[in-house]
A and B are shown apart, each in its own frame.
Chain A
Amino acid sequence: MSPWNTIWTVALKDWRLEWRSRDSLTATVFFAGLVLLILGFALGPSRQRLQQAAPGILWTALAFSSVLAAQRSFGSEQEAGALEALTLYPVAHEWIYLGKLLGNYGQLLVLGALLTPLCDLLFGLPAGPRWPELLLTLLLGLLGLSVIGCFYAAVTTQLRAREALLPVLIFPVVVPVILASVKATSLLTTGGLGSEVRSWLGLLVVFDLIYLVCATLIFPYALEG
Chain B
Amino acid sequence: MRDRLARPLGLITLLCFAVGLYFAFSSPPDVNQGNLIRILYVHVPSAWFSYVAYTGTFVYSLIYLLSRKRKYDRLAAASTEIGVLMTVLTLYTGSLWGRPTWGVYWVWDPRLTTTALALLIYLGYFVVRGLIDDPGRRGRVAAVIAIIGTLDIPVNYMSVYWWRSIHQTPTFQLIGGVRVSAAAPMVEALLVMLLAYTLLYFYLLRLRGRLAELVETREERELESELQGDLKGGMREPQ
Contact with B along A167-201 (1 / 0, CB 8 A): 01101110110011000000000000000100110
Contacts A199-B162, A199-B165, A203-B159 hold; do A173 and B127 have CB atoms under 8 A apart? Answer: no
Known: A180-B159, A221-B140, A225-B140. 17 other contacts (CB 8 A): A159-B128, A159-B132, A165-B124, A165-B127, A165-B131, A169-B124, A169-B145, A173-B152, A175-B117, A176-B155, A199-B162, A210-B151, A214-B147, A214-B148, A218-B147, A221-B143, A225-B137
- Smallest Cβ-Cβ distance to A215: which chain B residue: B148
A155 at interface, CB cutoff 8 A? yes
Chain A, interface SS category:
helix
A169 touches B128 (CB 8 A): yes
* Cβ distance A167 to chain B, nearest Cβ, rounded Å: 10
Distance of A220 Cα from B45 Cα, bound (Å): 37
B131 touches A218 (CB 8 A): no
Contact with B along A44-84 (1 / 0, CB 8 A): 00000000000000000000000000000000000000000
Q: Which residues of A contact B128 (CB under 8 A)?
A: 156, 159, 165, 169
Chain B, interface SS category:
helix
Contact with A along B123-135 (1 / 0, CB 8 A): 0100110011000
A161 touches B131 (CB 8 A): yes
Contact of A168 among B117, B127, B166 (CB under 8 A): B127
A218 touches B144 (CB 8 A): yes
A151 at interface, CB cutoff 8 A? yes
Contact of B121 among A151, A160, A161, A173 (CB under 8 A): A173
Distance of A200 Cα from B167 Cα, bound (Å): 12
Q: Which residues of B contact A224 (CB under 8 A)?
A: 140
Q: Which residues of A contact B144 (CB under 8 A)?
A: 155, 218, 221-222
Distance of A207 Cα from B159 Cα, bound (Å): 10
Q: Which residues of A contact B118 (CB under 8 A)?
A: 172
Residue among A158, A172, A218 with max Cβ neighbours from chain B (10 Å): A172
Q: How large is the interface on B (under 10, 10 to 19, 20 to 34, 35 or more residues)?
A: 20 to 34
Contact of A207 among B137, B155, B165 (CB under 8 A): B155
B52 at interface, CB cutoff 8 A? no
A19 at interface, CB cutoff 8 A? no
Distance of A173 Cα from B152 Cα, bound (Å): 6
Contacts A168-B124, A172-B117, A211-B151 hold; do A221 and B65 have CB atoms under 8 A apart? Answer: yes
Q: Which residues of B contact A203 (CB under 8 A)?
A: 159, 162
93-144 of chain A: CB within 8 A of chain B: none
- Smallest Cβ-Cβ distance to A192: which chain B residue: B166
* Cβ distance A188 to chain B, nearest Cβ, rounded Å: 15
Distance of A172 Cα from B120 Cα, bound (Å): 6
The 4 A-B pairs with the shortest beta carbon distances in the complex, nearest first, are: A172-B120, A172-B121, A222-B144, A172-B117
Q: Which residues of B contact A196 (CB under 8 A)?
A: 166
* Cβ distance A1 to chain B, nearest Cβ, rounded Å: 26
13 contacts between A and B (CB under 8 A): A151-B148, A168-B127, A172-B152, A173-B152, A176-B156, A179-B159, A199-B162, A206-B155, A207-B155, A214-B148, A222-B141, A224-B140, A225-B136
Q: Which residues of B contact A155 (CB under 8 A)?
A: 141, 144-145
* Cβ distance B107 to chain A, nearest Cβ, rounded Å: 16
Distance of A47 Cα from B143 Cα, bound (Å): 48
Q: Which residues of B contact A179 (CB under 8 A)?
A: 159
Contact of B131 among A160, A199, A200, A214 (CB under 8 A): A160
B149 at interface, CB cutoff 8 A? yes
- Smallest Cβ-Cβ distance to A214: which chain B residue: B151
* Cβ distance B119 to chain A, nearest Cβ, rounded Å: 9
Distance of A168 Cα from B128 Cα, bound (Å): 10
* Cβ distance B226 to chain A, nearest Cβ, rounded Å: 23
Q: Which residues of A contact B159 (CB under 8 A)?
A: 176, 179-180, 203
